[in-house]
Amino acid sequence: MRELFDNTIRAILADQLSPEQVIAAEGGEFSRALWNSLEENGVPLALVAEDHGGVAASLTDVCGLIITCGEFSAPLPIVETMLANYLLARKGLPPLNGVVSFAAGDELVVNAGGVSGSVANVPWGRHADLILAPAGQSLVVLATGSASRCEEMTNTAGEARDTLFFDGATPEQTIVLDGLASELLLLTGALIRSAQTTGAIMRVLTLAKDYANERVQFGKPIGRFQAVQHQMALLAEQAAMAKASCEVAFARSAMEFHEDSITAAKICAADAAGVAASVSHGVHGAIGFTHEYTLHISTRRLWSWRSEFGSATYWCRRLGDKVCKSGAEQFWPGVVEGGFPSPV
């Protein structure tokens, strides 16, 4: 199934998403035609059970698909929608219709008067029909139309990251969880951003490699200079590390989100992002610093995505605290098992 997904998404994005469209999206446009095409191909329902109209794929099956969305800088919340539907499916609930997004920060308050409070950093919030947001142990589904206000903001790449305000809104659904909803949404967001980051790293690696083979200085392609080769090797190593950590996180989260594997993926991808952006710009010289050349489309997303749903520092501290609390004797067993007990 995985290869089919990879090929389908790559074909759609290569065919229907131009760099101009990505830039236009930064100006606030929503790529409706692309969205419709993704919808027709069942992408929002990939992880949903067959009796709800999906194909019941596993997270491992969609790892490559999400990486590819990152590679193409897909300027819409297709991955967010797919995962939101997955979270509902895990509760046996049917998928949502339309464009869905979610955010992990802030806390909404639910009482007799409805849902109140704000949700910040909602990816593509202004374009979404529905969002998932945390309210303590409850995951609430809200129509964006029920928001009292939308404060528009953008990340470093100009992607919409809006704050939605609710003032006694009536939720479409309220789903009670075993744990904190913010935690579930944070892990979900960290998982997908790691994969998208990996995709963007793969793109800048390819751009830099091709450029290094083409650009001639001192009578030969710059890719023949050892200094350039070694920089590219460092970039490739980081790409490999990001990719490997993502594969593990998706595979191990098949049954339940695997916290420490997702943490490792977010850290490795975020660290790799900085190296990838720096090396790919270095190799490209001045041309890569222009708006016309497409390198910045990916590097500015690297600079954004690495810090969304928890920066490397956030996840490092969280993991480091657990490791220190579980103690030296537990360290190696924890590495082998891929997880450390949460502090009580």
Partner 1 sequence: MFIEQFRYHPIPAEAEALRAEVRAFVAEHTAHMSLRQRADSWMGFDADFSRKLGERGWLGMALPRRYGGAEASAFSRYVVIEELLAAGAPVSAHWFSDRQSGLQILHHGSEAQREQFLPAICRGECYFCIGMSEPGSGSDLASIKSKAEKNDQGWLLNGQKVWTTNAHRSHYMIALVRSGESESRHGDMSQFIVDLTLPGITVRPIKDLTGSEHFNEVFFDNVQLPPEALLGKEGEGWSQVTGELAMERSGPERFLSCLILMQAMIAEIGANADALQQREVGRLTARLMTLRQMSLAVTHLLDQGENPSVAASCVKDLGAVFEQELPEIAQLLCDVEPTQSGGSDLAQVMAYLTQQAPSFSLRGGTREILRGIIARGLGLR
Q: What minimum distance in Å lies between the beta carbon of 323 and partner 1?
A: 5
| Closer CB to partner 1, 13 or 283, in the complex | 283
Q: State which of residues 97, 317, 341, 342 lies at the interface with partner 1 (CB under 8 A).
A: 317
Q: Which of these segments, 43-51, 118-126, 189-197, 264-272, binds partner 1 (CB under 8 A)?
A: 264-272
Identify residues 271-290 at the interface with partner 1 (CB under 8 A): 271
Does 259 sit near partner 1 (CB under 8 A)? no
| Closer CB to partner 1, 191 or 319, in the complex | 319
CA distances from 9 to 22, 100, 143, 184, 278 (A): 16, 19, 28, 26, 28
Does 105 sit near partner 1 (CB under 8 A)? no
Residue that is written with structure tokens 């074909």 in the block: 11
Does 245 sit near partner 1 (CB under 8 A)? yes
Q: State which of residues 112, 286, 336, 344 lies at the interface with partner 1 (CB under 8 A).
A: 336
Q: How far apart are CA 201 and CA 259, in angstroms?
A: 23
Does 224 sit near partner 1 (CB under 8 A)? yes
Q: How far apart are CA 245 and CA 44, in angstroms?
A: 24
Phi, psi of 101 (to 5 degrees): -135, 175
Q: State which of residues 28, 97, 216, 331 lies at the interface with partner 1 (CB under 8 A).
A: 331
| Closer CB to partner 1, 93 or 236, in the complex | 236
Q: State which of residues 232, 275, 277, 279 lies at the interface with partner 1 (CB under 8 A).
A: 232
What is the Cβ-side half-sphere exposure of residue 127, based on CA atoms within 13 angstroms? Answer: 23
Q: Which of these segments, 44-52, 81-89, 183-191, 207-215, binds partner 1 (CB under 8 A)?
A: 207-215
Does 309 sit near partner 1 (CB under 8 A)? no
Q: How far apart are CA 130 and CA 128, in angstroms?
A: 6
Does 229 sit near partner 1 (CB under 8 A)? yes
Q: State which of residues 83, 132, 268, 297 lies at the interface with partner 1 (CB under 8 A).
A: 268
Q: State which of residues 135, 239, 273, 297 lies at the interface with partner 1 (CB under 8 A).
A: 239
| Category of 274 on φ-ψ map: left (φ > 0), alpha (ψ -120 to 50) or beta | alpha
Does 328 sit near partner 1 (CB under 8 A)? yes
Does 1 sit near partner 1 (CB under 8 A)? no
Does 116 sit near partner 1 (CB under 8 A)? no
| Closer CB to partner 1, 38 or 264, in the complex | 264
Q: Which residues pair with 216 in a beta bridge?
A: 221
| Closer CB to partner 1, 10 or 224, in the complex | 224
Q: How far apart are CA 151 and CA 172, in angstroms?
A: 22
- How many residues sit close enough to partner 1 to count as binding (CB under 8 A)? 59
Q: What minimum distance in Å lies between the beta carbon of 320 and partner 1?
A: 3
Burial grade of 332 (CB within 10 A; 0-12, 13-18, 19 or more): exposed
Does 60 sit near partner 1 (CB under 8 A)? yes
Interacting residues with partner 1 (CB under 8 A): 60, 202, 205, 209, 212-213, 221, 223-224, 226, 228-230, 232-234, 236-237, 239-241, 243-245, 247-248, 250-252, 260-261, 263-265, 267-268, 271, 312-313, 315-321, 323-325, 327-329, 331-332, 334-336, 338, 340
